[in-house]
């Protein structure tokens, strides 16, 4: 028997099969189209995501030599904050999904801030008031698409993050639900009461009838419908947002344990135990997971663009032809030649939270080459992480002892060494770097007794590579961080600076 994990990400959908030893038996990934209808706007086609999910699952099962009858359970992990609206009766999406990267609700956030909503939102949700989260995306839809607003008020429509969308389709429309980790990313969920908050929904103009039922991260959500999903009839017993799933997949089960996922963006999460602690310096407090009535909270630093910058080098500038070339190119030079790259293509996340910041490369000369830019892109991943970790240690009151890493870019030893030198702690990459899918599988397996408990999972975590800090590089790293912070200052409040110059 196997666990099928669906890892629905920002640029593609991946499905993996795991056996009882938590060994990955197969991986199948399919990309889907990104839509940019206006500057700063990002959309997906939910129907294409569903189609890619089915196809990736079919390929994963075939690669594992498994059949529908071999699937003991299904777990889902997903890009968070992306907002999907669909018809409750037909199960079909009625508009493009608004992706977490989309900044269209920046003016709504500004208005809410001016109306004094920010502190109430932060206190109840642990989040900052930013277009990143799904709540203001829904506000935008309600204010700009009157027919959808009318149908929402009439109870004809469903809202969900991608996990809810997939769950609805997997169960042939029988279940409209989400888990606590995804609910905690909407600006509508009170992380203290662990329930949707009617006051927040009213403030943001979101009809309560749109919202899914909220359940624990591990447990029965429903059964897959064999006609809808590849002949599989199995429990869907684990759901978590991608970064919480990665924290779980990294076996960060104790307070202070921290991981960073270098994906499209980068997300640093620290387990802070069973009580939420609110940040006052740009970090998020989020629900990590809930199992058997026990809630685990995490402090998070969300970095919007890291791996997506490598795609930009490939697709936008043509500096590389495939993402895997970047490390070799960057290794052709010993340093960046004095340049810094701040990847604020969609604003800056933690700890700055400036929706109007814009990307820049600064410090170039006629001697600047492709390799310098490639190295600056890699170093920007580590520098942004260092900014987050610095604040996280202060606010959590827990010194970092190690950083566990995963995600596509974690294969680069060059990045991990630079990260270790910046943080002056060991940076550890596990044997299984697909920790988001693993986390979903583990939650699903726990939900049906496929695995016994957290101790069994923790014992199976295995180290692949450890980058240890070079103490001799510490002074150079401090100087680099000063230059980096100056570069960041140049791209903050870009819109205000542009207006001042006119």
Count H helices, E strands: the chain? 17, 23
Query: Residue 243 annotated as binding?
Result: yes
Residue 196's DSSP bridge partners are 189
| Rounded Cα–Cα distance for residues 447 and 443 (Å) | 6
Dihedral, 181, 185, 188, 193 alpha carbons, nearest 10:
40
CA dist list (Å): 175 to 88, 91, 166, 211, 225: 10, 11, 10, 12, 11
Give exposure, 111-120, as e/b (b: 16+ Cβ within 10 Å): ebeeeebeee
* 260, 250 contact by CB (below 8 A): no
82 is in an annotated binding site: no
The reply, when asked if residue 81 is annotated as ligand binding, is yes
Residue with tokens 């996340």: 349
Q: Is 277 helix (H, G, I), strand (E, B) or coil?
A: coil
311 marked as part of a ligand binding site: yes
Strands 463-467 and 427-430: antiparallel
Residue whose pair of structure tokens reads 């960073």 in the numeric block:
260
Residue 413 CA to residue 382 CA, distance in Å, equals 12
The answer to whether the annotation marks 132 as part of a ligand binding site is yes
Q: How far is CA 436 from CA 9, 63, 317, 462, in A?
A: 10, 20, 30, 16
Which residue matches tokens 């604040």?
391
The answer to whether the annotation marks 307 as part of a ligand binding site is: yes
347: β partners? 345
| DSSP character string of 434-454 | -HHHHHHHHHHHHHHTSS--H
- The token pair at 340 is 């810094």
80 is in an annotated binding site: yes
33 labelled binding-site residue: no
DSSP state for residue 187 in the 8-state scheme: S
Annotated binding site for glycerol: 80-81, 132, 242-243
**Residues comprising the binding site for sn-glycerol 3-phosphate?**
10, 80-81, 132, 242
User: Residue ranges for the binding site for ADP?
Assistant: 10, 14, 264, 307, 408
Residues annotated in a binding site: 10-11, 14, 80-81, 132, 242-243, 264, 307, 311, 408
């Amino acid at each position: 028997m196997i666990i099928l994990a669906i890892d629905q990400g920002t640029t593609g959908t991946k499905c993996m099969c795991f056996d009882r030893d938590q060994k990955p038996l197969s991986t199948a990934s399919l990309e889907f189209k990104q839509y940019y209808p206006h500057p700063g706007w990002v959309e997906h086609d939910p129907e294409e995501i569903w189609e890619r999910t089915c196809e990736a699952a079919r390929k994963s099962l075939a690669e594992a030599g498994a059949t529908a009858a071999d699937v003991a359970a299904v777990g889902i992990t997903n890009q968070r904050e992306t907002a999907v609206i669909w018809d409750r009766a037909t199960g079909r999406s009625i508009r493009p999904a608004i992706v977490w990267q989309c900044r269209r609700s920046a003016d709504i956030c500004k208005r809410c801030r001016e109306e004094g909503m920010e502190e109430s939102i932060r206190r109840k949700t642990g989040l900052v008031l930013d277009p990143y989260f799904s709540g203001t995306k829904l506000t935008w839809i309600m204010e700009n698409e009157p027919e959808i607003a009318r149908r929402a008020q009439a109870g004809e429509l469903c809202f969900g993050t991608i996990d809810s969308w997939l769950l609805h389709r997997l169960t042939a429309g029988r279940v409209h639900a989400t888990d606590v980790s995804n609910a905690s990313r909407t600006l509508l969920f009170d992380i203290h009461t662990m329930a949707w908050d009617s006051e927040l929904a009213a403030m943001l103009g979101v009809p309560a009838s749109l919202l899914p039922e909220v359940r624990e991260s591990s447990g029965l959500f429903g059964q897959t419908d064999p006609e809808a999903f590849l002949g599989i009839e199995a429990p869907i017993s684990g759901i978590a947002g991608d970064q919480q799933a990665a924290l779980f997949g990294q076996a960060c089960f104790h307070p202070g344990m921290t991981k960073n996922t270098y994906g499209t963006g980068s997300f640093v999460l620290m387990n802070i135990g069973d009580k939420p602690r609110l940040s006052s310096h740009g970090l998020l407090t989020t629900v990590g997971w809930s199992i058997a009535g026990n809630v685990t909270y995490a402090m998070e630093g969300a970095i919007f663009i890291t791996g997506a910058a490598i795609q930009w080098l490939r697709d936008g500038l043509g500096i590389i032809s495939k993402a895997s070339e970047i490390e070799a190119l960057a290794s052709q030079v010993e340093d960046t030649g004095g340049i810094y790259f701040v990847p604020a293509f969609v604003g800056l996340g933690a700890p700055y939270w400036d929706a109007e910041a814009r990307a820049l490369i600064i410090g170039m000369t006629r001697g600047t080459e492709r390799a310098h830019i490639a190295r600056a892109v890699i170093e920007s991943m580590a520098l942004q992480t260092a900014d987050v970790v610095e604040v996280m240690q202060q606010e959590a009151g827990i010194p970092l002892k190690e950083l566990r890493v995963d995600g596509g870019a974690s294969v680069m030893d060059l990045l991990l060494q630079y990260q270790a030198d910046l943080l002056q702690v060991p940076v550890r990459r596990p044997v299984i770097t697909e920790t988001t899918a693993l986390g979903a599988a583990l939650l699903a397996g726990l939900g049906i007794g496929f695995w016994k408990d957290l101790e069994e999972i923790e014992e199976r975590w295995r180290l692949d590579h450890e980058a240890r800090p070079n103490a001799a590089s510490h002074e150079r790293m401090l100087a680099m961080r000063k230059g980096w912070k100056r570069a960041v200052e140049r791209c903050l409040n870009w819109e205000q600076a542009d207006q001042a110059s006119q």
